[in-house]
Amino acid sequence: MSATEIDFYELLGVSRDADGATIKSAYRKLAMKHHPDRNPGCTESEAKFKAVSAAYDCLKDPQKRAAYDRFGHAAFQNGGPGGGHPGADFGDIGDIFETIFGSAFGGGGRAQARRGADLRYDMQVDLEDAFHGKSTELEIEVSQNCDTCHGSGATPGTQARTCNLCNGRGQVRAKQGFFVVERPCPNCHGSGQVITSPCRDCRGEGRVDRAQKLEVDIPPGVDTGTRIRLSGKGEAGPRGAPPGDLYIFVHVKPHQIFQREGTTLATRVPISFTKAALGGSIEIPNIDGDEVTIEIPAGIQSGKQLRQRGAGMPVLQGRGRGDLVVEIAVETPTKLSKEQRALLEEFRETETGDECPESRGFFDKLKTALGG
């Protein structure tokens, strides 16, 4: 059906005095009905879609419509007053877009092989492993190339043929007004090839699911949220396409002694009240297995934090270490010998109140606040 053989008004099913809104509504209904996406492979619908698009292109423009009303189709032939042919094929516009912009607007190259999907694996590690790093083995089930057809998807001894609908491009075109849009070929599903004799083991997919063992290196300094990428260890692509990647997301387990914030380690250490009063030093085992010596100043109070530089977590993929923060908890003795009790009694008798300035200051403020 050619657009030049049927009256544009008749083609759209509207009267010659129809307004723009009526013409637009009629066009939308017909375009929806005959759109190539709704009628794949139907040449009659495609021709009808082109015809109604050409008719609407003419009648929506006041100048073109006036020329058509006066001269009919002759207005657009041989350089007539309307200029150009409203029913012309718009493929040349698509070719211009393709030349300038390439495949983004319908490039004519062959279909690109679809890469396999990326996969995610969540791994839990101890804080000690996060400090030292480690090599570990994991086993996951993932799509891999079929051993029978070696990823081609075709029965051994046969091969896929070029799709005759898209000529191997993997895309088919549909014209919409002045624009040319592309969609995956319904015959080959975008691959550009059709397998007439699919492999019976993978059913033409070129890949099968099976267990895969992988060696994973956990670098020192990893933290919860660290992502490790194993290139090419994801899902195999269909019919021999490149595989995706495997991403390992690290989760560091809580530790009984140490809390972590970035490269800083923190812990709470109880000390005796005599150590707090007289000062001294303590040694605590660190996450790396070494002993860390912490100097305790005389008169330290509970809650005081002491920082040991360079004794924390290593910097991921960097140099140096964070800090170790020790929070002091002064412990009151609960079991005293007679000698110890006697010494404390003697100390209490000699107390003046200046030994604990914070306590004295608090009670002085409390008396003032209560008017005493």
Q: Where are the alpha helices (DSSP H) in the chain?
A: 8-12, 20-34, 43-59, 62-71, 91-101, 127-132, 273-278, 338-349, 357-369
Residue closest to 306 by CA, chosen among 331, 285, 289, 281: 281
Residue 42 annotated as binding site: no
Residue 149 annotated as binding site: yes
Residue 58 annotated as binding site: no
**Cα–Cα distance, 110 to 357 (Å, whole number):** 85
**Structure tokens, 18:** 């129809």
**Cα–Cα distance, 190 to 82 (Å, whole number):** 41
Residue 146 annotated as binding site: yes
Residue 199 annotated as binding site: yes
**Cα–Cα distance, 210 to 200 (Å, whole number):** 16
Other residues' Cβ atoms within 10 Å of the Cβ of residue 157: 7
**Cα–Cα distance, 191 to 184 (Å, whole number):** 9
Residue 166 annotated as binding site: yes
Binding-site residue numbers are 146, 149, 163, 166, 185, 188, 199, 202
Annotated binding site for Zn(2+): 146, 149, 163, 166, 185, 188, 199, 202
